[in-house]
A and B are shown apart, each in its own frame.
Chain A
């Protein structure tokens, strides 16, 4: 035998894995590469340039959509994280009680329903409310984003709570910490990485959303993804690649922060 026996080795698995990683990154690399194309179209590559990035930054619609995306994601992720943290504390480390399963089902419900169905439901629902109230602002988008962000924020916070040694809070109580002090000085600091992870997950999920936003938005409320969807359906210029590359950069930064925060074991 050329290779020494290893308990973990399975023939061909490593090859398949490497192919997968290659296939996952090749399109992204090509996409980013063409963002630096100096040509007018994507049909040929004519040399490096930053002109499409400059173009993107001059595009009023892109800037507006980006700001709107960040606004919605910021508010929705914050609200969802606060609600999810409270819910996680309410649903973990307890003996089962009446309604606990119902709570799980409710909180995770947005994960179980195809996005398109939620999108349609919100379209119908908000259309009514718009008629009743006459309000047309960003509130609808923020409410919708908050709702589907709740389960994403909830997951890491809950996981962190469940893994937390409950004797630590007992120890705090034993050392004269009132329930509030035990929460403030022991539970919250230990839960913090989970809360941060939950927030970032919710933030990215909100930033990435296309379908629900597409159905809920009123005229002139494009977020960056819905703006891009509209453009991709028409004609594609390297400007879209440039915007995508910047968007990718943002995502990668958030993932790396998430990774560092979540992996660091206290």
Chain B
């Protein structure tokens, strides 16, 4: 199935520094990125995602391991020989060239005939909707336009893989939203594999076909956005993507892939088990805030547990509630969607009950 992969990273290690200062920015990472895929490397800053991207681009060389492109290890190939282009975080547009010259640079360097370069530049300008700015200097256009030029420049040589290093981080919220849609469209139209680096989980979830979550140089989980959100592989992924409540307990019984977990804080919870995971003894159960609701504390039969309402945060589309559970230490978060003309049912300091959605909880692989 190697033909369906655009890039394959095999057990890549990148060590910076020497001796006692040595540290692994990328630690035995392996991923197979498929052709025509929008693939995202997601993780907090310093997790090694940008280093991995630079290894693929050729600005760094792996300490060990292989980077396979078209069945060939390109790990030691200089960047100008790799059919891979990059959209830089700072765009890195050449300030002494016009928009069109920037876009045509790669093809000129490849020695393509002038007419072909011209045609291709025109096509690219059309693709990113910048036809009328071809002759401008890059310093004379806005941030969003610079972003589009950077994209067009990287796409013009029709690379096998396009690398995007947090390209939207310099844009303001509204423009970022527009560019997210634009990027998806471009990826669809060009059919080029995109490898996108970001620390913004929302961006990753909305745009990607698949996401690799990284931490401390290691790849923790590679999966579709839905799978990453609904079935996080471990505590880090569960905590990093979205908000999560963690409850510890002991497995009572297991039936049909559903575990019944006895917790100190919320009694018996029924939680989904990960596939092929034989659970026994102490486990951690995770529950997303939107899978719980507030209920009347005076009706214990209707509620899973009770606590004191500590904080109410209004978010426009929904409202977040922070509840201190019985032990006085655990804080439980839940989220309710706001409805028009809704009255506030509870206020800070109230004793409230919490209701879990059935089977929404999930047992974590420890």
Q: Which residues of A come within 8 Å of B, CB atoms? A: 165, 167-168, 170-179, 181-182, 185-186, 189-190, 266
Evaluate contact between A176 and B78: CB separation under 8 angstroms: no
* Contact present for A168 and B94 (CB under 8 Å): yes
Judge whether B105 and A189 touch: CB under 8 Å.
no
CA distance A175 to B58 in the complex (A): 12
Chain B residue nearest in CB terms to A190: B96
Q: Is the interface of A mostly helix, strand, loop or mixed?
A: helix
How far is the CB of B96 from the nearest CB of chain A, in Å? 5
Which residue on B lies nearest to A186, using beta carbons?
A: B94
CB distance from A224 to the nearest CB of B (A): 37
Determine whether the beta carbon of B110 is less than 8 Å from that of A168.
no
Contact of B90 among A167, A172, A185 (CB under 8 A): A167
Residue pair B92, A176 in contact (C-beta under 8 Å): no
Other A-B contacts than A173-B80, A176-B80, 18 sampled, CB-CB below 8 A, are A168-B94, A171-B92, A172-B80, A172-B109, A173-B58, A173-B78, A174-B84, A175-B157, A176-B81, A176-B110, A177-B105, A178-B80, A179-B80, A181-B109, A185-B105, A185-B109, A190-B95, A190-B96
Q: How far is the CA of A174 from the CA of B92 in the complex (A)?
A: 11
**Bound state CA distance, A176 and B57, in angstroms?**
11
Q: How far is the CB of B227 from chain A (nearest CB, A)?
A: 32
Q: What are 14 A-B pairs at a CB distance below 8 A?
A: A165-B92, A167-B90, A170-B86, A171-B92, A171-B94, A172-B94, A173-B78, A174-B84, A175-B109, A176-B157, A177-B105, A182-B80, A186-B94, A190-B94
Q: Do the beta carbons of A165 and B90 come within 8 Å of each other?
A: yes
Q: Inside 8 A of A186's CB, which chain B residues have their CB?
A: 94
Q: Write out, one digit per residue, whether chain B residues 143-155 have a CB within 8 A of any chain A CB (1) or not (0).
A: 0000000000110
Within 8 A of A (CB), among B47-100: 57-59, 78-81, 84-86, 88, 90, 92-96
Which A residues are CB-close (under 8 A) to B232?
none
The 8 Å CB contact of B86, one of A174, A182, A189, is A174
Closest to B90 in A: A167
> Of B78, B80, B81, B84, which is in contact with the most chain A CB atoms at under 10 Å from its CB?
B80
Question: Given that A175-B105, A175-B109 are contacting pairs, would A170 and B96 also be in contact in the complex, using a CB cutoff of 8 Å?
Answer: no
Q: C-beta contact mask, B91-123 vs A, less than 8 Å → 1, else 0? A: 011111000000001100110000000000000
Q: Top 4 A-B pairs ranked by shortest CB distance?
A: A175-B106, A171-B92, A176-B109, A167-B92
Q: Which residues on the B side are within 8 Å of A172 (C-beta)?
A: 80, 94, 105, 109
- Bound-complex Cα distance A172 to B59 (A): 12
Tell whether A170 pairs with B59 under 8 Å between CB atoms, given A175-B153, A176-B80: yes
Write out the residue numbers on chain A whose beta carbons fall within 8 Å of the beta carbon of B139: 266
Which residue of A171, A177, A182 contacts B88 across the interface (Cβ within 8 Å)? A171
Q: Which chain A positions have C-beta within 8 A of B85?
A: 174-175
B84: which A residues are within 8 A, CB to CB?
A: 174
Instruction: Assess whether B57 is in contact with A174, with CB atoms less than 8 Å apart.
Output: yes
Complex CA distance for A167 and B58, rounded to whole angstroms: 13
Q: Which residue of B lies closest to A168 (CB)?
A: B92
Answer whether A266 and B96 are a contact pair too, CB < 8 Å, given A174-B79, A176-B80, A181-B109. yes
A146 CA / B175 CA spacing, docked (Å): 54
Is B92 a contact of A170 with CB atoms below 8 Å?
Answer: yes
Q: In this complex, what residue of A is CB-closest to B79?
A: A173
A59–B90 CA distance with the chains assembled, in angstroms: 60
Chain B residues lying within 8 Å of A181, measured Cβ to Cβ, are: 109
Which residues of chain B are near A177, meaning CB under 8 Å?
80, 105, 109
- By a CB distance below 8 angstroms, the chain B residues around A173 are 58-59, 78-80
Bound state CA distance, A181 and B78, in angstroms?
14
Please give the distance in Å from B159's CB to the nearest CB on chain A: 9
Q: Which residue of A lies closest to B57 (CB)?
A: A174
Q: With the chains together, A208 CA to B127 CA distance in Å?
A: 57
In residues 26-48 of chain B, which contact A (Cβ within 8 Å)? none
Across-interface contacts of B59 in A (CB, < 8 A):
170, 173-174
CA distance A171 to B109 in the complex (A): 12
Q: Residues of A contacting B80 with CB < 8 Å?
A: 172-179, 182
What's the minimum C-beta distance from A128 to chain B, rounded to whole angstroms? Answer: 48
| Complex CA distance for A143 and B103, rounded to whole angstroms | 46
Give the CA-CA distance A177 to B108 in the complex, in Å: 9
Q: In the complex, A100→B105 CA distance in Å? A: 34
Report Cα–Cα, A181/B59, bound state, in Å.
Answer: 17
Shortest Cβ distance from residue A234 to the other chain B in the assembled complex, whole angstroms: 53
> Nearest A residue to B82 by beta-carbon distance?
A174
**Chain A min CB distance to B166 (Å):** 13
Chain A residues within an 8 Å CB radius of B96: 189-190, 266
The residues of B that contact A170 with a CB separation of less than 8 Å are 59, 79, 86, 88, 92
Select A171's contact among B58, B78, B86, B110, beta carbons within 8 Å: B86
A175 and B57 CA atoms in complex are apart in Å by 11
Shortest CB distance B339–A (Å): 49
A189 to chain B, nearest CB (A): 5
Distance (Å) between the CB of A168 and the closest chain B CB? 5
A175 to B85, alpha carbons, bound, how many Å? 6
Please report the C-alpha to C-alpha distance between residue A168 and residue B88 in the assembled complex, in whole angstroms.
Answer: 9
Q: Which residues of B contact A175 (CB under 8 A)?
A: 80, 85, 105-106, 109, 153-154, 157
Question: Nearest-CB distance from A247 to chain B (Å)?
Answer: 35
- With a CB–CB cut-off of 8 A, which chain A residues contact B153? 175
Q: Are B95 and A266 in contact (CB under 8 A)?
A: yes
